[in-house]
Structure 1
Amino acid sequence: MTTILVVDDSKFFLSVLTSKLRSAGFQVIGAASIAEARTMLETRRDEIFMALLDLFLPDGPEGEVVDLAISHGVPSVVFTGNYSEDTRDRVLSKRVIDYVVKDDPSSLDYLTALVHRLEYNRSIRALIVDDATTARKYMADLLSLYQFQVIEASNGEEALQRLADTDGIRLVISDYHMPVMDGFQLIKNIRKTWRRDQVAVIGVSSSGSSTLSAKFIKSGANDFLNKPFLREEFFCRIAMNIDLLEQVDALKAAATTDYLTGIPNRRSFFERAQPLMAAAKRGQAEIAVGLIDLDHFKSINDSHGHEAGDIALAAVAQLLLAECRQTDLVARFGGEEFCVLAFNLEADKRDSYFERLRSRISDLRIDFAGNQLTLSASIGVSGNAELGLDGMLAEADFQLYRAKEEGRNRVCWLS
C-alpha cells in the first residue's frame, strides 16, 4: 500500500485529509510539526512515496518543512490557506510538484486526485522530443518531478526508434522545428502504428503561429502547448491527456474482463484466440480447447446463497489462471462455465493437462461462513484445429455433454 506523509498543525484538516486518503486506498503517516515530520522522514523514509505539506507551521513559519522533505528526496505537494504570487513563485522554485490553496472542500478532492495521478505516473514512460538540449532537459525534469519514467530524443527519427525499442511509452511531447524529421512528420509516423487512445502526443512550439496548433492536431496530436508555458498548465494538460488514456483503458477492460472473476470474458477470448487459431491452422502449433462446467453448481447457490456461489466462481477462475500456462487463454464464458485454450499443447499431453485441471478443481476447498464448499467439474475437449474456433467449441460442447451424461467430474474428448 502506498504511504503518504501529511504534515499539518490543524487537527481538523489533518484528520479530514487523512480520512479521505485512507478511503481512497492509501496509508497515511500524520505529523503536526516539523519536529514530528523530521522523525518520520528519518525513521520511515523508505515507506514514504510522497508528502503533502502545510506551508506554515508553528516551528517553521517560513515554509522550512518544504526544504526538509526535499532534502530527504521526497516528492512534495504544498498546501496552504494563504495565497500570493510571491509565495507561489518561492514555493515552486523549490521543486515541489504543486501548490494547492485549501480554501474550500474541492481542494481535498484535488489533492486526493493528484496523489492518485502521481502513483499512476510511476508506471508510465514519457518521451520528450526536442533538438534544443535546454528545452528538452527542462521538460524532462518537470516530468520526472511528476514521477514519469522519462526518455529523451533529439529529433523525430530518433524518437521513432525509441518508440520501437521501448515498451510502455504512453506519452510523447514533441517540438515542431527539428532537424532530420520535424514534429509534424513524427506525429504522422507515430499514428501509422499507435492510435490516439494508445499514445498521447502533445505538440509544443515557440513559433507563435496561430495555425500551428491546428496543424498539430490535424497531423494526429492529442494536444498542443505554446512555449513558454506555465508549469501548472504543462502539468494540467498532461494530466488531462493521461486521464483520457486511463479512462479508455478502463472502458476496454470493462468490455473484455468478466466483472466477477477478473479474468477475460467471452468477447475477449474470441479476440485473443483468432491469431492462435491461425497459427495452428498453418501447422505452426498444436492447439486444444476445453469447456469446463462446474457440476451441480446450482446447489451451492440454493444451499449457501449467491455470495457463496460468487466466491466459488472467483476461486475456480484464480485456480485456472494459476494452473494454466502463460501461453494459454482462460476465460469465463458465463454462469458456471469456463473455457481454456491450450496453445502449442502436444496431442499426447492433452489428456493429462485437462485431467490435472479437473483434479485441481475437485481438490479445491472454499471456506464460507463456517462451511467448507467443495466442487467438481466436467470438461469437454477438442483438439481438431481444422474445425476452426467455432467448430472446436461445438465439439468441446458435445464432449462436455458426454461427460455430464457419463456421471460428471470427468474429461471427455474425441479419441
Structure 2
Amino acid sequence: MTTILVVDDSKFFLSVLTSKLRAAGFQVIGAASIAETRQILATRRDEIFMALLDLFLPDGPEGEVVDVAISHGIPSVVFTGNYSEDTRDRVLSKRVIDYVVKDDPSSLDYLASLVHRLDHNRTIRAMVVDDATTSRKYMVDLLSLYQFQVVEATNGEQALQRLADTDNIRLVITDYHMPVMDGFQLIKAIRRTWRRDQVAVIGVSSSGSSTLSAKFIKSGANDFLNKPFLREEFFCRIAMNIDLLEQVDQLKAAATTDFLTGIPNRRAFFERAQPLVAAALRGQAEVSLGLIDLDHFKSINDTHGHEAGDSALVAVAKMLQTECRQTDLVARFGGEEFCVLAFNLAAEKRASYFERLRSRISEMQLDFGGKPVRLSASIGVASDPSEGLDGLIAEADHQLYRAKQEGRNRVCWEK
C-alpha cells in the first residue's frame, strides 16, 4: 500500500484529508510540526512515497517544512490557506510538484486525485523529443518530478525507434523544429501505428504562430503547448491527457471483459481470435477451438441459488486461466459456456489438452452452504480453420451437441 506523509497543524484538516486518502486506498502518516516530520523521516523515510505539506507551521512559519522534505528526496505538494503570488513563486522555485490553495472542499478532492495520479504515473513511460538539450532536459526533469519513467530522443527518427523498442510509452512530447524529422512528420508517422487513444502526443513550440496549434492537432496530436509554459499548465495538460487515455482504457475493458468472471467476453474473443485464425489460414500456425458447456448448470441455480451458480462460473474461469497456456485465448461466451482457442498446439497434444480441461472441471469440489457440489462439462472441439473463425465455432458447437447427446462429461471432435 502506498504511504503518504501529511503535515498540517490543523487537526480538522489533517483528519479530513487523511480520511479521504485512506478511502482512496492510501496509507497515511500524519504530523503536525516540523519536529514530528523530522522524527518520522528519520525512522520511516523508506515507507513514504510523497508528502502533502502545509506551508505554515508553528515551528516553521516560513515554509521550512518544504526544505526538510525535499532534503530527504520526498516528492512534495504544498497546500496552504494563504495565497500570494510571491509565496507561490517562492515555493515553485523549489523542487515541489504543485502548490494548492485549501480554500474550499474541492481542494481536498484535487489533492486526493493528484496523489492518485502521481502514484499511477510510476507505471507509465513518457518520451520527450527535442533536439535542444536545455529544453529537453527541462521537460524530462518535470516529468521525472511527476513520477513518470522518462525516455529521451533528439529527433523524430530516434523517437520512432524508441517507441518500437520500449514498452508502455503512453505519452510523447515533441518539439516542432528538429533535424532529420520535424514534429509534424513524427506525429504523422506515430499515427500510422498508434491511435490517439493508445499514445497521447503533445506538441510544443516557441515559434508563437497562432496557426501552429491547429496544425499540430490536425497532424494527429492530442494537445499543444506554447513555450515557455507555466509548470502548473504543463502538469495539468499532461494529467488531462493521461486521464483521458485511462478513461478510454477503462471503457474498453468494460466492453471486452466479462463482468462476473473477469476474463474476456465474446466480443473480446472475436477481436483477438480473428488474427490467429487468419494466421492458421495462411499456414503460419495451427489452432484448435473448444466450446465448454457446464452440465446441468440450471440445477445448481435452482437448488443452491444464483450466487452459487455465479461462484461456480468464477471458479471455472479461474481454473481455465490457470490450466491454459499464456498463448491461448480463454473467454466466457455467455451463460455457462466458455471458449478456449489453443494456438499452435501440436496435433498429437490436442486430445490430451482438452481432456485435461474436462477432467479438471470434474475434479472441482465446491461447497455451497455446507453442501458439496460437483461439476462436469461437455466439450466440443474443432481444428479446421478453412471456414474461418465462424466455421470453427459452428463445428465446435456441433461437436458440443454430440457430447451432450452422448451422455455429457466428455470431449467430442470433428470427424
Category of TM-score, reference length = shorter chain: over 0.9
Name stretches of at least 5 consecutive residues in structure 2 with no aligned partner: none
Shift of 1:366: 3.8
CA distance in 1, matches of 2:129, 2:317: 44
Partner of 2:330, secondary structure, is strand
Counterpart in the other structure of 1:339: 339
Partner of 1:207, secondary structure, is coil
2:140 counterpart letter in structure 1? A
Partner of 1:131, secondary structure, is coil
Aligned: 1:22 with 2:22:
yes
Matches within 5 A, 1:92-241: 92-241=92-241
Partner of 1:49, secondary structure, is strand
What TM-score do you get using the length of structure 2 for normalisation?
0.95
Matches within 5 A, 1:290-305: 290-305=290-305
Seen in structure 2, the aligned counterparts of structure 1 residues 374 and 26 have a Cα distance that, compared at 3 Å, is: farther
1:272 counterpart letter in structure 2? R
Shift of 1:375: 2.1
Q: What's the CA shift string for 1:373-408, capped at 9, x where partnerless?
A: 432222111122223221221121122122222332
> Is residue 294–residue 337 contact of structure 1 (8 Å, CA) maintained in 2?
yes
CA distance in 2, matches of 1:63, 1:373: 65
1:309 counterpart letter in structure 2? G
Counterpart in the other structure of 1:60: 60
When the two structures are aligned, how many residues end up with a matched partner? 415
Name stretches of at least 5 consecutive residues in structure 1 with no aligned partner: none
Partner of 2:171, secondary structure, is strand
> Is residue 290–residue 354 contact of structure 1 (8 Å, CA) maintained in 2?
yes
Seen in structure 2, the aligned counterparts of structure 1 residues 414 and 211 have a Cα distance that, compared at 3 Å, is: closer
CA distance in 2, matches of 1:278, 1:176: 40
Shift of 1:85: 1.3
Shift of 1:363: 2.5
> Is residue 287–residue 346 contact of structure 1 (8 Å, CA) maintained in 2?
no
Seen in structure 2, the aligned counterparts of structure 1 residues 389 and 49 have a Cα distance that, compared at 3 Å, is: same
Seen in structure 2, the aligned counterparts of structure 1 residues 364 and 78 have a Cα distance that, compared at 3 Å, is: farther
Q: What's the CA shift string for 1:300-319, capped at 9, x where partnerless?
A: 22233322222221221121
CA distance in 2, matches of 1:185, 1:217: 12
Counterpart in the other structure of 1:78: 78
Shift of 1:320: 0.8
Matches within 5 A, 1:381-400: 381-400=381-400
Q: What's the CA shift string for 1:337-366, capped at 9, x where partnerless?
A: 100000111121111111111222222234
> Is residue 200–residue 242 contact of structure 1 (8 Å, CA) maintained in 2?
yes
Partner of 1:25, secondary structure, is coil
CA distance in 2, matches of 1:366, 1:64: 60
Counterpart in the other structure of 1:248: 248
Shift of 1:46: 2.7
Matches within 5 A, 1:299-314: 299-314=299-314
User: Percent of aligned pairs with the same residue?
Assistant: 85
CA distance in 2, matches of 1:385, 1:143: 48
Partner of 2:401, secondary structure, is helix
Q: Which moved more, 1:373-382 or 1:342-351?
A: 373-382
Q: Which moved more, 1:10-19 or 1:145-154?
A: 10-19
> Is residue 347–residue 383 contact of structure 1 (8 Å, CA) maintained in 2?
no
Partner of 1:225, secondary structure, is strand
